[in-house]
Structure 1
Amino acid sequence: MKSLLIAVKDAKIHLKDRKAILMMILMPILLTVILGSALKGVMGSVSMPETILGVYSSGTDAMSDIIIRTLDDDGLAITVELAESEKQLMDWMDEQEVHVGLLFPDGWGTGTEDRAVILPISGQETEAIVIQQLIETFAHMSQAITNSTSAILTEAAVLSSDDREAIQYDLAASIGKVVNEQRSYVSEPPEEESVSSMKYYAAAMAAMFLLFNAMAGGKSFHQERRSETLSRLMMTPTSVHSLLAGKFIGTLLFAWIQFLIFIGATHFLLKVDWGPSILQILFITFFYIFSVAGLAMVVAAFTSNEKMADIVGTIGVQVMALIGGSMLPLSLFPEAMRKIAMAMPNSWALTSFTSIMTGTAWSTLWLPAVVLLGIGVGSIFISSLRLKRRIA
């Protein structure tokens, strides 16, 4: 009972502190908006940029017509614009109305030695190379079919007319079947729902700013020592265990209030979808907050005053936020850094949040829950041994 009273008192003190409200509640929402909007182009479901291809053909032949229709397929993210003259195509490129220009010489697909010309505007060289590879692959395939067909018909010339007609018919039917068959030769990877930048940074800011409770909890302990509130409490029939439990529960309680306000604000104001299961979110949050409350006791135990707790807590939060993926997505880190990130509690919380957002099974959450529980229990055990000696 005494522990609960101490916890409620600490939570009320935090909620009355305007600076704490600004730092712990409003700041993460503001940073979520800024970072989520600024990095929208490099995360989440980003569509392939469209390439506008300007084409002029000085003559007409079947192969160039087929290539033009193939390049204009919706799946290639290429829009083909047909120019009426070479001058019009050059004007389009000068005005940057097209990204890449393509010139087909007269009779290009009928064996002429003249080559098609690809002209990219500045900055579109990569797109030009891709288009070149598509054209050359298609041309090589067509040439191979033509040469093979010619060789077969030459060998068949010594046969009777009926046999030649039968071979021609079968050959044409086989080629037509291959060309017209809608067949996929590569299996597509399983489709997964991506996490947008706004979703990612909502989870990242929640994980990072909950860490600040470790700093606030450590400072609270030193504030009570400086104001002699702690010594007066020890003069009452309040045990050391009750006092430490109260400080721990106080940090736990304020962190829950902070998180619930944050998740509500991001959901209703920023339209962030936290996933199909709010129970999974609350499940991981419980263990994460438990580990953060344990770290708050570590800060209190291994610092001597408020200023030191502020410095140690701030530096610790920034280091864990950077390594744990709250500043930059973990997918951008090298493999060695990803392994180091597994030592950070916010990394486990962040990856769990993003997994829940895309839909995940309960079985995948047991490992992060156990790790976070272990961090909390270990922190409580180590810090309580030291704090008992300092209070007594």
Structure 2
Amino acid sequence: MKSFIIAWKDLKIRLIDRRGFMMMLLMPLLLTAILGSALSNLFDNEGLPKTIIGYYQEGSDDFADVFQKDVLHSKEIKDDVKIEIVASQKELEDLLRKQKIDVGIIIPNGWSENIKDGKLQEPKLITDPSKDIQAKIAESIIRSFSERAQTVAVSTKSVVTDLAKSQPENMEQVAKEVSVNLQTVATSNTDGIEKGTVGKKTVGAMQYYAAAMLVMFLLFNITVGAKSIVTEQRTETLARLLSTPTSSFTILLGKFFGTLLFACMQFSVFVVATHYAFHVNWGGDISQIAVVGIAYAICVAGLSMLIAAFIREERTADLMGGIGIQLLAILGGSMLPIYAFPDTLQTIANIAPNKWALTSFLNIMSGTSWYEILPVILSLSSAGIVSVIIGTFRLHAR
């Protein structure tokens, strides 16, 4: 009971601190609004980025004509890809230099002269280094068509050869039908890519940055909680508390619950505010959001006790809040989406508890089961409890 009295006292101190209120509640809402609106193009769910492809064909070629007509000008990609036909390689390079096109394709003379043997000459791709995605789109279109065309050529030759051995009466008609059917496969417009999401729904920019700002600003409770303990040590507030008939463990647990209560309040207010102010959909099961949020709050509050056990000056806590928290925020995906990181950095990011909380919130938004998020809930809670135990015993001994 005394622990909760101490926790309530700490909570009231933080609530009447205007600077702390601005930092912990208003700032994350403001940043969510700014980042969610400004970076919405990174989360565009409507399809591929618009791509303008310059096309130059050096000579007459039947397969190149089919590629241009049935693939590049197909209705399936016309909303995402625009084709500019040019008369020379120089014109193509000039358009790319003036950024009137995103990427250039040059089909060499005699592109398909060896297609019967399953070979196509390598087309040339002229790219702009700043438009890597558009270059990959063009490369994918060419590779997809080339692979299908070569497969069709080899298959047609093999089938016709086998038919010739059996010598059917309508050999010529059968061979023609086989060739036509296989060519239909080669010039089909499908790109073999099925778009989808990990969960049942996609996550928009406002949703992502709402979750990202939430986990980042909850991290600041680590240093705020630790700093409050160090401050009370310096001002001898803890010493006066210890002079009362209250055990040191009760006092330290009260400090932990104070940080935990504020983190839970911050979490609740933020979720409600973003839902009504920015129409953020936090997922179909709010109980999942609540449980992950509480587990993360336990982890944060526990880490605050652990940090307090190893520092002795308030400026050390400020330094950790200024540099350490920002590094964790970057690693955890609060500044840029985690999927944009290199593989090595994504592996290193696993040390950040906010990364696991953010990933769980995003999974809940897109639709996930309790089975998928249970390991994260247990891990965050366990990390917080272990930190509380270590920090409490070390502070008690000190």
Q: Same-fold call, TM > 0.5?
A: yes
The answer to whether the 8 Å contact 1:44/1:194 transfers is: no
The aligned residue for residue 213 of structure 2 is: 205
The aligned residue for residue 290 of structure 1 is: 298
* TM-score, length basis structure 1: 0.75
Higher alpha-carbon Rg: 1
Are residue 73 (structure 1) and residue 77 (structure 2) matched? no
The aligned residue for residue 14 of structure 1 is: 14
Partner amino acid, structure 2, of 1:167: M
Match of 2:359 among 342, 348, 351: 351
Identify if the C-alpha distance between structure 1 residues 282 and 100 changes in structure 2 by more than 3 Å, giving closer, same or farther: closer
CA distance in 1, matches of 2:344, 2:52: 40
Identity of aligned residues (%): 39
CA distance in 2, matches of 1:149, 1:365: 52
CA distance in 1, matches of 2:387, 2:293: 17
Deviation at 1:373, TM superposition (A): 1.9
CA distance in 2, matches of 1:174, 1:120: 36
After TM superposition, the structure 1 stretch with the greater mean CA deviation from structure 2, 321-330 or 179-188, is 179-188
Partner amino acid, structure 2, of 1:51: T
Partner amino acid, structure 1, of 2:72: L
Task: Trace 1:89-100 onto structure 2 (pairs within 5 A).
Answer: 93=95
CA distance in 1, matches of 2:347, 2:143: 39
Identify if the C-alpha distance between structure 1 residues 151 and 221 changes in structure 2 by more than 3 Å, giving closer, same or farther: closer
SS at match of 1:79: strand
SS at match of 2:14: helix
Partner amino acid, structure 1, of 2:182: V
After TM superposition, the structure 1 stretch with the greater mean CA deviation from structure 2, 381-390 or 176-185, is 176-185
Gaps of at least 5 residues in structure 1 are none
Deviation at 1:259, TM superposition (A): 1.0
Identify if the C-alpha distance between structure 1 residues 128 and 363 changes in structure 2 by more than 3 Å, giving closer, same or farther: closer
User: Per-residue CA shift, 1:91-126, capped at 9, x if unaligned?
Assistant: x95987665688999x99999xxx9x9896967793
Deviation at 1:150, TM superposition (A): 10
Deviation at 1:204, TM superposition (A): 2.1
Partner amino acid, structure 2, of 1:195: V
Identify if the C-alpha distance between structure 1 residues 147 and 243 changes in structure 2 by more than 3 Å, giving closer, same or farther: closer
Match of 1:309 among 317, 332, 345: 317
Partner amino acid, structure 1, of 2:218: L
Gaps of at least 5 residues in structure 2 are 115-120
Partner amino acid, structure 2, of 1:78: V
User: Per-residue CA shift, 1:299-320, capped at 9, x if unaligned?
Assistant: 3222223333333444432333
Match of 2:254 among 246, 250, 253: 246
CA distance in 2, matches of 1:34, 1:147: 60
Computed over aligned residues only, the root mean square deviation of the Cα atoms, in angstroms, reads 4.5
CA distance in 1, matches of 2:236, 2:275: 42
Are residue 170 (structure 1) and residue 174 (structure 2) matched? yes
The answer to whether the 8 Å contact 1:215/1:314 transfers is: no
CA distance in 2, matches of 1:334, 1:58: 39
The answer to whether the 8 Å contact 1:301/1:383 transfers is: yes
Task: Trace 1:179-328 onto structure 2 (pairs within 5 A).
Answer: 179-180=183-184, 188=194, 191-192=197-198, 193-328=201-336
CA distance in 1, matches of 2:106, 2:395: 80
Partner amino acid, structure 2, of 1:230: L
Partner amino acid, structure 2, of 1:14: R
The aligned residue for residue 23 of structure 1 is: 23
CA distance in 2, matches of 1:50, 1:298: 50
* TM-score, length basis structure 2: 0.74
The aligned residue for residue 49 of structure 2 is: 49
